[in-house]
């Protein structure tokens, strides 16, 4: 019978510890160093600032900006795009306000004009078109109104005089004015309403005063003033900017009301034009055709 005798390793080899791989520890340390470095760089970058021009007082539209109107402030270099601005005061001073500017506003390029404005502009930024005039019009019959709306303008003639609307238009869609019999056997025209203009542009609404400033040709505005001088009652209608323009000098008295037209849906009138009524009218005082 054979007896197996175990082979004994040297005692020094048995007592010696197995050496570990140092690479993971080196990589971990290197990663920590990189992370700390990036964090430090990010912090330093976040602390960077930029000098920007800010207004220190209100500047109304069209006024030239002076050195006393501005100041310099520091803002973070990395900020929302809405906080973009101009850093060079020389690019601001001497320019003109493109709209009403307020104190503490960051000055941006769209706020500035290189030249003074040539057309009047209202506080909401709406500019009067060349060769047009503004007309103050009461909003009492219109109600809430904004510069994005359009306005129809009409007047009431309680006397029924045909020359104010019918004769000016030559005809009212072929309908003769209604007549009211009097006790003496004579007849007289009925009072009527006449829609004078349609789709007039709104420049600005002064809510406190209850007045809307409308953009008209000089002849249109002169006509409105003439109606007021005659003591006629004016009225207005809020109208959509994309709605079809209605007929001008469109007269209607109560005797002409048609049930079919009352029930009919609103449709574009082929006789109406897409341009502002009266845009081609001659200026008052010029030779008439």
Predicted confidence band of residue 122 (pLDDT cuts 50, 70, 90): confident
Predicted confidence band of residue 289 (pLDDT cuts 50, 70, 90): very low
Q: Indicate the range of 145-154, 180-189, 260-269 predicted with least confidence.
A: 180-189
CB-based contacts of 141, cutoff 8 Å, min separation 6? 234, 235, 236, 237
Number of neighbouring beta carbons within 10 Å of residue 276: 20
Question: Mean pLDDT score of the chain, rounded to an integer?
Answer: 80
The pTM of this model reads 0.60
Of 68, 66, 59, whose CA–CA distance to 105 is shortest? Answer: 59
Residue 271: predicted pLDDT = 47
Q: Indicate the range of 13-17, 98-102, 186-190 predicted with least confidence.
A: 13-17
Q: Indicate the range of 3-7, 37-41, 95-99, 228-232 predicted with least confidence.
A: 3-7
pLDDT reading at 232 higher than 60: yes
Q: What is the mean pLDDT of residues 95-100?
A: 87
pLDDT reading at 185 higher than 60: yes
Predicted confidence band of residue 281 (pLDDT cuts 50, 70, 90): very low
Q: What is the mean pLDDT of residues 155-174?
A: 73
Residue 39: predicted pLDDT = 74
Domains in the chain (CATH in brackets) are 49-113 (3.90.1210.10), 133-263 (no CATH)
Question: What values do phi and psi take at 54, rounded to 5?
Answer: -130, 150
Looking at per-residue pLDDT, the higher value among 190 and 237 belongs to 237
């Amino acid at each position: 019978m054979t007896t197996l005798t175990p082979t004994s390793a040297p005692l020094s080899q048995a007592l010696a510890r197995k050496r570990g791989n140092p690479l993971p520890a080196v990589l971990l340390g290197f990663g920590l160093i990189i992370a700390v470095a990036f964090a430090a760089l990010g912090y330093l970058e976040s602390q960077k600032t930029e000098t920007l021009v800010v207004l220190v007082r209100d500047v109304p539209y069209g006024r030239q900006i002076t050195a006393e109107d501005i100041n310099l402030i520091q803002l973070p270099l990395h900020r929302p795009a809405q906080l973009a601005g101009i850093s060079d005061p020389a690019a601001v001073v001497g320019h003109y306000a493109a709209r009403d500017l307020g104190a503490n506003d960051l000055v941006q390029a769209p706020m500035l004009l290189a030249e003074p404005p040539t057309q009047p502009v209202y506080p909401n930024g709406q500019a009067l078109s060349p060769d047009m005039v503004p007309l103050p019009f009461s909003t009492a019959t219109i109600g809430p109104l904004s510069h994005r709306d359009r306005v129809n303008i009409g007047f009431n003639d309680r006397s029924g005089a045909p020359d104010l609307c019918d004769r000016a238009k030559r005809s009212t869609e072929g309908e003769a004015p209604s007549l009211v019999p009097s006790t003496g056997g004579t007849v007289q025209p009925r009072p009527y309403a006449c829609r004078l203009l349609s789709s007039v542009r709104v420049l600005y609404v002064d809510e406190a005063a209850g007045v809307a400033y409308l953009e008209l040709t000089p002849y249109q505005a002169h006509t409105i003033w003439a109606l007021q001088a005659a003591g006629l009652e004016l009225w207005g209608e809020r109208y959509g900017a994309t709605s079809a323009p209605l007929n001008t000098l469109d007269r209607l008295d109560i005797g002409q009301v048609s049930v079919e037209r009352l029930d009919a849906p609103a449709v574009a009138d082929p006789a109406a034009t897409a341009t502002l009524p009266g845009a081609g009218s001659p200026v008052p005082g010029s030779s008439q055709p």
